[in-house]
Amino acid sequence: MPKMTEAEAAALFAQIDTDGSGEIRLRELRDYGQANGGTLDGLTLPDFVRAADTDGDRRITLTEFKSYLT
Ligand SMILES: [Ca+2]
Ligand SMILES: [Ca+2]
Domains of the chain in start order, with CATH, are 6-69 (1.10.238.10)
Ligand 2 centre distance from Cα of residue 1 (Å): 23
Task: Using DSSP, state whether 57 is helix, strand or coil.
Answer: coil
CA distance 26 to 3: 22
Going by the DSSP 8-state scheme, the letter that residue 58 receives in this structure is S
CA distance 17 to 30: 11
Q: Are 9 and 65 in contact (CB under 8 A)?
A: yes
Residue count (the chain): 70
What pLDDT does residue 2 have? Answer: 64
Q: Which-ligand-closest: CA of 19? A: 1
pLDDT digits (tens, 9 = 90+) for 15-56: 999 999 999 998 999 898 887 788 888 888 888 999 999 999
What pLDDT does residue 9 have? Answer: 95
Is the pLDDT confidence value at 1 over 60?
no
What pLDDT does residue 57 have? Answer: 95
